[in-house]
Structure 1
């Protein structure tokens, strides 16, 4: 029986995958993204977390199952859900046995075991931090190697992908960057959808509460309307969905 460290739940999520979804946020993340709005999820053993077994999680999900309809289900997010490998495999497997659609919201930076994890995953929301190595290191503080390994496995296994990318003023909002991003995404197999997420400052207060310096202090939120045309263009460039 495996147990996982859970940061929080969202019972009626509408933006983290298709349909109505329960979003389970897991503790732990190795990345230190400049724009991270959940620094309280970084530690795998934060005192704020709730420890639950896979069986307990699935029992709670089953209470929401009538609301999922044909498209909805559960999305495991974080933090980085891949860091809790054994728990994730166990809970995904049990979800599939129960008929619950499974989705991972991930940057691909886990600790291996990706083939087994993905064998119980219906959809991956893959967070592209940056499409160049230097850009990736600047934003996350780490190498993209692990992320690329996960992405390669997902493509090999033909897992449907939704690509997500946070657009930050002065960092990832230029026409040159977004054009390059679009060209990069076209090379990824199995992409069904592209979502450009506007940078926001909703998590700044958490840094102040935790007495942490906020890396993007003073950077204004991104206007969503500015991204709509770019997002539309990138989606139009995708091949017909698998």
Structure 2
């Protein structure tokens, strides 16, 4: 477990043992190991991590320490980290080791009004590991943030949600059929999670990936905007413009990238979509 975890979310990581163990399985399938929930054994619990970055300013407020955990049930067409879909494709790391690394940067993170963000993949796949990290970061006085689709929100107790200062909630579509097309998963769990956060008063930022020809339909955006307008604890909406930075990973994994011919949205399209959210009185970036 001494291998380096510092790196970029855009680097391809493929664990040799994982590749050998799963080479006979469909890459798109949710494997048995992805479904297992590890028991909470404190600082000895082992999580699987793709990489971590220090200095991010786009994954929550201030300067962030961002850890990308592996494991995700969604198969988003525009995913720029398909190497995080399967949990055991990450590098094993104990909570104790992760906290030693985070502690190195605790002072500067607090000075910058930043903190720790767990991303992925989907951090809730490794809930016990993630919650140990969050609890210990709170003991250090660090702001905590999770980047999640909300698909596994039912795994979280209200007490656990209280350990997370900010939820970056990815709502991929407002239309259930389009959501299923984009992710391969149902929309309703995400909506249920958003409303639960709202009812509990837990702060959230909603993120919406704008993909021409896929998620840009006027009515689809209207449905997402309407959901957002009903969230009492929503602080802002971020419109994320589709990019092609994940295409290389798909190709190197031998996967057919479905959006290889799609161009990023034009400034005019992005502004139209922002306007749809602003018309509800929402703060939009």
Alpha-carbon distance in structure 2 between the residues aligned to 1:146 and 1:114 = 15
- The one-character-per-residue Cα deviations of 1:168-202 (angstroms, maximum 9, x if unpaired) are 00122233333332222101221100000001111
Structure 1 portions without partners, runs of 5+: none
Measured on the aligned residues, the alpha-carbon RMSD in Å equals: 2.0
Cα shift readout 1:66-108 (whole Å, capped 9, x = no counterpart): 2222520011000000110111111111111111100001001
Query: 1:55 corresponds to which residue?
Result: 96
1:67 aligns with 2:145: no
Residue 121 of structure 1 pairs with residue 174 of structure 2: no
User: For residues 19-168 of structure 1, what are the structure 2 equivalents within 5 Å?
Assistant: 19-46=62-89, 49-68=90-109, 69=111, 71-110=113-152, 112-168=155-211
SS of 1:62's equivalent in the other structure is helix
Between 227-236 and 133-142, report the one with greater CA deviation. Answer: 227-236
Distance 1:224 1:53 in 2: 44
Structure 2 unaligned runs (5+)?
A: 1-43
- Closer, same or farther in 2 for the Cα pair 1:224/1:56, shift >3 Å? farther
> CA distance change for structure 1 residues 239 and 177 in 2, over 3 Å: closer, same or farther?
closer
Runs of 4+ in 1 over 4 A off after TM superposition: none
Q: Is the 8 A contact 2:123 2:130 kept in 1?
A: yes
Change (3 A) 1:114 1:130: farther
TM-score of the two chains, using structure 2 as the length reference: 0.77
The higher radius of gyration belongs to: 2
Alpha-carbon offset, residue 224 of structure 1: 5.2
Residue 248 of structure 2 is matched in structure 1 by 205
Q: Does the 8 Å contact 2:169/2:206 carry over to 1?
A: yes
State whether residues 24 and 75 of structure 1, in contact with CA within 8 Å, keep that contact through their aligned partners in structure 2.
Answer: yes
Equivalent-residue separation in structure 2 for 1:87 and 1:117 (angstroms): 12
* 3-state SS in 1 of match to 2:150: coil
